[in-house]
Structure 1
Amino acid sequence: MSAPQEYVEVFKPTSGRFLGVVGLLVCAGVVVIALVDPGSGIGVTGVAVAVLVGALVHGSMLKPVVRATDDELELVNLFETVRLPLAAVESVVVRQVLAVRVGDKRYVSPAVGRTFRQALKKPRSTRELAMTPVPGEGLVAEEGMSYADYVEDRLREMVAGARSRRRVKIGSPEQAALAADVVRRPALVQLGLVVGAGLVAVLSLLLG
């Protein structure tokens, strides 16, 4: 893939931020108490569990974000970051999570989604799974439009624009070839914290 470009759109997370901050503060508080007061009874196991939970809370509620350049879509998730060519995207749909299909693979992001009740509702007629651009939609959020609908419209507009610039037709061999440019980068820090804290917690329980 080409060198990183400037993000032209950053889609704000739709839920979980408040609970994520509260959960992270609670975990941090447990660690601080254990360090300041060794006699608190929290011990190594408690600290390890707090770090483990904190890493999972941060990674699942605060870290996820969806960003896009003119040519690429970036999905930052709990354990990995996925970068994929916008022109390779075949479908975009937002239900309880954002789902993007490239070739025979489906990539999801919990950063943008609908509530369970909203996801059960019948989508608007222009919300079919196939990438069918709707002229005039997606430029601005219409009055009364949900944020999930706006994200769908905006991403579909960006995908259509990227396909047009690269002269790639949906379902064509050229579009299928772009699937090879998808890059998945593991979140090594997050993985290290979760695995390390989990091992410490288990060993402390077994040896305690």
Structure 2
Amino acid sequence: MDHDASGDESFAPTSGTFVGWFVIAVAVVVAVLGVLDGTDGFGPAALVAALVASVFAWLTLLRPRVLLQGDAVVLRQSLSTTRIPLAAVEDVSVRHVLEISAGGKRYATAAIGHPRRRIVREAAGAGRREQEGSAPRVGEVHWADHVESRLRRAALDARARGTGQEGAVERRIDVVPAVALGVTLLVVVGAFLR
């Protein structure tokens, strides 16, 4: 979790960061090999593949993020950003993805989530504990659970301060990722038409 000078918080994604950076590193190596190979053979295809891989890794694995900014929770997606006033948050839950209910609608992001195997394992463990009459194990807190708890607490604090539901949920398309995707698609189409 990152804090900046204004007190804003940024929550790191629960998965994909390592894979995203690895894909970009491999794409850079492939692009360098493509440049060294020249315009014959491997070169142009390598550059197109490197561009596609790195843009999609950035958009799907590295860009999505959950942030607390002032009196709002911000869900940064691949191509858009949704800003939800904390006082309007009705519920926060994390399963495969983080879901926030506000104003009768649900907003989801894949930036924070539990792995499928953990959800299945916990469901099986809960059934076993129910049969045995034992309490859940006390231990480490999963990052996704921490984020869920932090967002719930921030929403409760916002309502307690009486900030009301100032402003509606705002959703905007972000220009830089949209342009990056558009350029990538144009390059791919151009490569196939060549």
Structure 1 residues 28, 165: CA separation in 2 closer, same or farther (over 3 Å shift)?
same
Percent of counterpart pairs with the same letter?
Answer: 34
Structure 1 residues 198, 69: CA separation in 2 closer, same or farther (over 3 Å shift)?
closer
TM-superposed CA distance for 1:70, in Å, is: 4.0
Asked whether the equivalents of residues 96 and 116 of structure 2 are also in contact (C-alpha less than 8 Å), the reply is yes
Q: What letter matches 1:92 in structure 2?
A: V
1:185 aligns with 2:172: yes
Q: Quote the Cα distance in structure 2 between the aligned partners of 1:85 and 1:94.
A: 19
2:158 to 162, 169, 181: 162
User: Counterpart of 2:94?
Assistant: 94
> Which is bigger in relative contact order (C-alpha 8 A, separation at least 6)?
1
User: Counterpart of 2:75?
Assistant: 75
Q: Quote the Cα distance in structure 1 between the aligned partners of 2:140 and 2:191.
A: 53
Structure 1 residues 54, 167: CA separation in 2 closer, same or farther (over 3 Å shift)?
closer
TM-superposed CA distance for 1:39, in Å, is: 4.8
TM-superposed CA distance for 1:199, in Å, is: 2.0
TM-superposed CA distance for 1:37, in Å, is: 2.7
TM-superposed CA distance for 1:87, in Å, is: 0.6
Describe the SS at the equivalent of 1:10.
strand
User: Counterpart of 1:110?
Assistant: 110
User: Counterpart of 1:145?
Assistant: 141
| Runs of 5+ consecutive residues of structure 1 not aligned to the other structure | 123-141, 169-174
Structure 1 residues 45, 187: CA separation in 2 closer, same or farther (over 3 Å shift)?
farther
Describe the SS at the equivalent of 2:161.
helix
Describe the SS at the equivalent of 2:10.
strand
RMSD: 2.4
Q: What letter matches 1:190 in structure 2?
A: P
Which one is further off, 180-189 or 25-34?
180-189
| Runs of 5+ consecutive residues of structure 2 not aligned to the other structure | 124-137
Q: Quote the Cα distance in structure 2 between the aligned partners of 1:7 and 1:98.
A: 22
Describe the SS at the equivalent of 1:158.
helix
